[in-house]
Amino acid sequence: METLAIYLLNPLYYAAILFLISAGLSLIYGVMRVVNLAHGSLYALGAFVTAWLVGLVAAHVPAVVLYLILPVGALAVGAVGLIIEPTLLRPLLKRPEEYQLLMTFGLLLILEDCMRLLFGPYPLFAREPLEFLGSSIIVGDLYPNYNLLVIVVGLVTAAFSWVLTYKTKFGVIMRATSLDMRMTSALGVNVKRVYLKAFAIGAFLAGLGGAFSAPTQGAVLGMGQDALVLAFIVVVVGGLGSLEGAFVGSLITGFVRSIGITLFPEIELAILYLIAAAVLLIRPKGLFGRD
Amino acid sequence: MFAATTRLQTVQKEVTAMKTIPTTDFKTGQMTFFTGPAAALGEPMYKGHIMAAEEINALGGLLGKRKITTIKADEAAGTDANVKELRRMALEEKIDMFAGITSSGNTPALGPVAEELGVLTLFTDGCTDFLFDKAVPNPHFIFRITNIQSADGVTASVMANMQWPNVKSVAHLHPDYSYGHNAYDHFKIVMSKLNPSAQTVYEGWPKLGTSEFTEHITKIIDAKPDLLYSSLWGGDYVAFYKQANGYGLFNKMHFASTLSHGVAPQFLGKDHPEGTIAGHHSNYYFTYSNAQPGSWPLNDSFIARYRARWDGEYPNFQAEGAYTGVYMLKTAIERAAKLVGGWPEVDQIIGQLEGLSMAAPAGYIYIRPDNHQAYKDTVTGLSKNSPDYPFNIVDPMSVVKMPIQKLTAPPNWPKGDPTSTYTWIDQTWPKLSS
């Protein structure tokens, strides 16, 4: 166990990616009360756009430019969010939530096919950002610097999200909308704009997760569904609609998975579901859930 | 009297067959992965099939008259949907032959259905021993072209023992489904004979389709094995080696794979480590005959035609398997037609496929009559970054071909558990004493 430092870093890296995916899912639910089943596909879209862009320019630009490209994938997904919300979701918001589930599930399928059409059926890999950063020796063991970068990005994003939610005027409005949409609207807030922004930010976060996982995991059709399941486990543990829940849920999921693979490798698949089941039994609303 | 009537009917049938070669198209259904991580490995299968069909059609078609047409379906739809699609192809589209399939999870589900529907079927891959050991022990309509799966683990294990005979500890990393378990079982049984003192120090079983391996990589490094053995494949494997590079895994241990070089060659970057056992399903890698240039012209011309047809891409073992499968069908139809004097019935084609042997790009291939499985000598080698190719290749100077007869259970060997080859090795291979 001399590789203890690495053992601590691995789940942090995993949790950082999980947080990026689940924070957006939680934000969208918290503000709009929409369970966005297409969230995983937005994550996949971020990965595809990034991998495609990196593949396109990697040979022609200095390495540092590649890191500036990574967020471009996320911005593209945020822009897609800006289109989806007013055209596809807004008309259904007043209807029962089954309609929204159907719509976002349909979106999941449509986005998957769009990615296939745009980027082809094969996996895309963007290895350059991973390679250029190299590896460091941490207590005698090699660790990829890129993973450290992802951890930092996860932490910075968490800090930004917290400031945005609790320290800005927009955050106050967003939380007010989340608590009582009608009252907020009556007070003169343009709720439609709040929804639009919240959805775009949520989509951007998912895209950011995809963008930063593309160099290590590649962009593969079907990756969205896996990510969606993981994000649901995180928000079930942490509480749907809660930023703190997404943060703590990601850490718990990351560390439990790590311990699970070490101690019970045979049930690697089941371990994440077991955590979610345990939390549901003890605290059905999740650790940070509210009524 | 009864026997005489039946005989007469048979003769009449043959007489009618003799006069008629239908001018209708010979319709084939082709199913493989067109999407997802498995497409990197499976999609070239379609390209091999189409290329063979186009070549045959350019000469007028089967028996010079029947053009081959192909309808395709995506295997990524899932096993249940695949079974439905096979039924639809057979009943609605009325295909004359079904071909393709990559996943070992699918052939045991599709095989019995193809038998029930009476559709002539040439599975290209999906090569689990389970199909002909247990799911369809007495096949009539179904055949399979690429080597039987147990040959993968056996070949990799023999190669690892040739290459690194002093290994004392082994770590395993396999996808948690039938292929991973098959590769694990056969590697272990061979190790128990060739290197009985080697210890297993780690076993990881990630889900098929996983692209996040950092946790496993750290555990493997921590276990300090002399050898890591893995059956990861397709997009999963590509993600794995890229992540493992960052942890310096390949500098710390030997690495043996059953299927690392099974993907379409362009998917393995030059960042792939060198000197690893570069498995390709123990079937075919396009450089295998390059050590003696021109020694197997069938391969040279196959590569040249494949590249010309598919934008400069190089073929993988699935492309070669599907291509050879269509030509085996053509050969069987021609031989049967010669005997019956016209377009043969499906049973007559099957009769000619059983025991058929021919020269293919990958070497000689032979279909065993008892289980309808095609066999060829297995092949593996070591990975290398050559200036001649923009991707990591199997070094032709390192290629080892092993006689299949020495690696797999012979005809009529009792069906065993987990596979016949497993029990055959267990009972007949001598144990190496130190």
List per-block mean pLDDT (blocks of 10 residues) for chain B, which spans 434 residues: 50 54 94 88 94 97 96 94 97 97 94 97 95 93 96 97 96 93 96 95 90 91 96 92 94 97 92 96 95 94 97 96 98 95 95 97 96 96 96 96 96 91 96 79
User: What pLDDT shows up at residue B1?
Assistant: 42
Cα separations (Å) of B37 from A74, A219, B21, B363?
Answer: 22, 9, 42, 29
Residues of A in contact with B221 (CB under 8 A): 3, 141
- Partner-chain contact B37 A220, CB within 8 Å: yes
- State how far the Cα of A135 lies from the Cα of B251, in Å rounded to an integer: 13
The helix/strand/coil state of B316 is coil
Phi, psi of B378 (to 5 degrees): -80, 160
3-class DSSP state for residue A60?
A: coil
* Residues of B in Cβ contact (< 8 Å) with A3: 218, 221-222
Taking contacts as CB-CB distances below 8 angstroms, the residues of chain B near A146 are 246
A269 contacts on B by Cβ (under 8 Å) = 176, 207
CB proximity list for B173: less than 8 A, separation 6 or greater = B202, B203, B204, B206, B213, B216, B220, B228, B229, B230, B232, B240
Prediction pTM value? 0.88
> What is the pLDDT at residue B88?
97
Residues 285-324 of B with CB under 8 A from A: none
Q: Is A227 on the interface with B (CB under 8 A)?
A: no
Contact (CB<8Å) A268/B76: no
d(CA B305, CA B312): 9
Nearest CA in chain B to A221: B36
* Residue ranges of B 181-240 with Cβ closer than 8 A to chain A: 203-207, 209, 211-212, 214-216, 218-219, 221-222, 234-235, 238-239
**In chain A, % of residues over pLDDT 90:** 60
What order do you get walking across the sheet with B68-74 strand by strand? Answer: B68-74, B26-32, B97-100, B120-123, B142-144
Set of chain A residues whose Cβ sits within 8 Å of the Cβ of B43: 121-122
Q: Is A209 on the interface with B (CB under 8 A)?
A: no
Phi, psi angle pair for B256, to nearest 5°: -125, 130
d(CA A179, CA B226): 59
Cβ pair B34:A121 closer than 8 A: yes
**Given this model, what pLDDT does residue B9 score?**
56
Please work out, in degrees rounded to the nearest 5, the angle formed at the alpha carbon of residue B60 by the alpha carbons of B58 and B66: 120
d(CA B159, CA B195) in angstroms, rounded, equals: 12
B39 contacts in chain A (CB < 8 Å): 121-123, 221
Amino acid B11: pLDDT: 47
Report the C-alpha gap between B241 and B216 in whole angstroms. Answer: 12
Three-state SS string across chain B, please?
Answer: CHHHHHHHHHHHHHHHHHHCCCCCCEEEEEEECCCCCCHHHHHHHHHHHHHHHHHHHHCCCECCCECEEEEEEEHHHCHHHHHHHHHHHHHCCCCCEEEECCCCCCHHHHHHHHHHHCCEEEECCCCCHHHHHHHCCCCCCEEECCCCCHHHHHHHHHHHHHHCCCCCEEEEECCCCHHHHHHHHHHHHHHHHHCCCCEEEEEECCCCCCCCCHHHHHHHHHHCCCEEEECCCHHHHHHHHHHHHHCCHHHCCEEEECCHHHCCHHHCCCCCCCCCEECCCCCCCCCCCCCCCCCCHHHHHHHHHHHHHCCCCCCCHHHHHHHHHHHHHHHHHHHHHHHHCCCCCHHHHHHHHCCCEEEECCEEEEECCCCCEEECCEEECEEEECCCCCCEEECHHHCEEECHHHCCCCCCCCCCCCCHHHHHHHHHCCCCCC
Percent of chain A with pLDDT over 70: 98
Nearest CB to A146; choose among B211, B218, B246:
B246
Using the beta-carbon criterion (under 8 Å), do B218 and A127 form an inter-chain contact?
A: no
**Which tokens hold the place of A198?**
């919240």
- Residue pair B129/B182 in contact (Cβ under 8 Å)? The answer is yes
- The Cα B173–Cα B181 span in angstroms is 10
Mean pLDDT of A262-270: 76
Amino acid at A218: G
Q: What is the pLDDT of residue A264?
A: 79
CB contact under 8 A, A146 and B219: no
Does pLDDT of A51 surpass 90? yes
- Radius of gyration (C-alpha) of chain A in whole angstroms: 19
Which tens digit of pLDDT belongs to each residue from A135-189?
888 887 889 999 999 999 999 999 999 999 999 999 999 999 998 989 999 999 9
A250-267 mean pLDDT: 85
Alpha helices in A127-222 (DSSP H): 128-133, 145-167, 169-179, 181-186, 191-217
d(CA A206, CA B306): 40
Test mutation, A3, A6, A253, A257, chain B, max B CBs within 10 A:
A6
Is A98's pLDDT higher than 60? yes
